[in-house]
Every structure is written in C-alpha cells, then in structure tokens.
C-alpha cells in the first residue's frame, strides 16, 4: 500500500501546490505531475466528472507521483466513501459550517473506531482484496481529510471546527466566502482577505494545515507568506484557456 506523501509533506510543514481538474482525459493529470505539482483535486462538485473517470484519473496520478484528492459534491458519507474507495489520496468536502458538519465528514472518511466508513476490501483502495483484511488502521492513517470553510457561518464557527480530530487541512474558499459577504467574485476585497487572515491564525494555532485557492502565482505567494501550506493553483480548463489566449494574442499583436 502506497504511503501518502502529500500528508507527510504537510506534517513536515512544507508548502504543497496542486490544481483543480475538470477534464476526464488522464493525460492532463499526468502532465500536472510532470510539471511538478504535488497534488491534483479531481473536482466532482463543480466539474462534470463521474466516478469511473475519477478512478482513471487516480490511476494516472499514481503513475507520476502526484496525489489525487477528490472533491465530492457535498458532505455525504456515501460520496466520501466512494471517493476514497476508488483509491484517492484523500477527500475534500465543501461547505463545512459547524463542528457537527466536520464530525460527520470524519465519520464518513474513517473506518471504525474513528468513523463509520462502510467496509469493503474489494476496492481499488483495498487492492481488490490483495491487501488482505488488516488494512483499516493503515487506510485511516494514510487518508487525507480536507474540509472547506467557505462562508460566514463557517468562519464564525472556525474555532470549533478546528477542534475536530482527524482533519488534516482546513481549506478556505475565497469565492464562496465573497458570495456569502454579498460581493460575489471579489476575492481580493479587504473584507474577504481580513476574514481569511483571521481564520489562518486560528487554524495554524490548532496545529492543522491551511489551504486555499489562488488564481495566479502572485496571489499564491501572498497566501504562502501568510502561512497557507496547501495551495490550489488554478483549474485545468482555465490554465488551458490562458495558454491559448497568450498564444493567439502573441501572434495577433505582431
């Protein structure tokens, strides 16, 4: 069973870079690994991906040593279980607003005695039974749990959310936070930045890692300087769009 190097990097205090994946073509995630990313978030919340495609993306990620993390659609135990059963390195769960939300997420992600994750060894995570039946503790240890705090209510409850054990990363979602403040999309507004900075301090003091999304390297560097370790740097489709625009504009300008 492969060790979760992404989780180990975070525990060592390293900054890790990833990107969000909407495309089902496995070569895209392989390219991200060759480019030097540490992880890729396979997006089943906003992206059009289905489970079989996500499983193939996990395989492609494993081939190049990039950690596949699946963002599920909602805080739902069957969705969390399936995301981990197909062999992801971890799960990202959106819209965590309360301590009880965070506890439910952990219960869905961990086997007994830490949680209530359904048990089957005939999965990719269980090496299709080749790993034997004494692997639940190891899978509990290796699985990464990332929860999204992305609204005012979650921010208000951040001190309680960080108290929940077995959560590795608190991911601050700037876009949804801006929407909850009535300024949708204005992620560089001082009100958004101030709330995020308050959360960063509380999360880091709890011993957990902090994550967020950055549209460009400049914003990523600013949040790294502020203490954020887990950076989602762009989305595959947006990265491709910007690359195409740069090519077209470079030719047309000349």
pLDDT at 253: 85
The dihedral of CA 165, 105, 214, 32: what is its sign?
positive
Nearest to 207 by CA among 245, 143, 242, 162: 162
Q: What are residue 141's phi and psi, to 5 degrees?
A: -70, -40
The helix/strand/coil state of 214 is strand
Residue with tokens 């190049």: 64
* Distant-in-sequence, close-in-space partners of 71: CB < 8 Å, separation ≥ 6: 20, 41, 42, 43, 44, 45, 46, 91, 92, 93, 94
**Domain count along the chain:** 1
Asked if 239 and 19 touch (Cβ cutoff 8 Å), the reply is yes
Q: Which helix (H) or strand (E) holds 252?
A: helix 236-253
Asked if 157 and 134 touch (Cβ cutoff 8 Å), the reply is no
Whole domain around residue 102: which residue ranges?
5-253
Tell me how far apart the alpha carbons of residues 172 and 197 are, in angstroms, rounded to a whole number: 10
pLDDT at 47: 93
Asked if 230 and 240 touch (Cβ cutoff 8 Å), the reply is no
Tell me how far apart the alpha carbons of residues 40 and 70 are, in angstroms, rounded to a whole number: 8
Q: What are residue 148's phi and psi, to 5 degrees?
A: -90, 125
Kindly give the confidence (pLDDT) of every residue in the chain, 254 residues in length, as a single tens digit, with 9 standing for 90 and above: 679 999 999 999 999 999 999 999 999 999 999 999 999 999 999 999 999 999 999 999 999 999 999 999 999 999 999 999 999 999 999 999 999 999 999 999 999 999 999 999 999 999 999 989 899 999 999 999 999 999 999 999 999 999 999 999 999 999 999 999 999 999 999 999 999 999 999 999 999 999 999 999 999 999 999 999 999 999 999 999 999 999 999 999 86
pLDDT at 203: 98
Q: What CATH code is carried by the domain that includes residue 194? A: 3.20.20.60
pLDDT at 41: 98
* Distant-in-sequence, close-in-space partners of 117: CB < 8 Å, separation ≥ 6: 77, 80, 81, 84, 107, 108, 109, 110, 111
User: What are the strands, taking DSSP E only, across 8-126?
Assistant: 16-21, 39-43, 67-71, 90-93
Give this prediction's pTM.
Answer: 0.95
Query: What token pair was written down for 13?
Result: 């205090």
pLDDT at 2: 78
């Amino acid at each position: 069973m492969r060790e979760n190097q992404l989780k180990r990097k975070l525990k060592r205090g390293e900054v890790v870079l990833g990107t969000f994946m909407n495309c089902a073509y496995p070569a895209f995630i392989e390219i991200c690994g060759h480019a030097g990313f540490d992880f890729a978030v396979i997006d089943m919340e906003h992206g059009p991906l289905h489970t079989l495609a996500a499983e193939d993306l996990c395989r492609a990620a494993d081939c190049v040593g990039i950690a596949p993390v699946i963002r599920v659609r909602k805080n739902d135990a069957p969705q969390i279980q399936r995301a981990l059963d197909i062999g992801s390195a971890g799960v990202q769960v959106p819209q965590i607003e309360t301590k009880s939300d965070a506890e439910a997420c952990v219960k869905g992600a961990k086997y007994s005695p830490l949680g209530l994750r359904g048990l089957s060894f005939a999965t990719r995570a269980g090496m299709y039974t080749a790993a034997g039946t004494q692997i639940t503790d190891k899978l509990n240890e290796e699985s990464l749990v990332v929860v999204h705090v992305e609204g005012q209510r979650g921010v208000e409850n951040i001190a309680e959310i960080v108290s929940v054990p077995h959560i590795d990363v608190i991911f601050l979602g700037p876009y949804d936070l801006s929407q909850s403040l009535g300024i949708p999309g204005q992620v560089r507004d001082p009100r958004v930045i101030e709330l995020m900075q308050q959360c960063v301090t509380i999360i880091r003091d709890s011993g957990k890692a902090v994550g967020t999304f950055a549209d460009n390297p400049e914003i990523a560097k600013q949040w790294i300087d502020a203490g954020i370790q887990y950076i989602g740097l762009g989305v595959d489709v947006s990265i491709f769009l910007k690359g195409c625009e740069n090519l077209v504009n470079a030719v047309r300008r000349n």
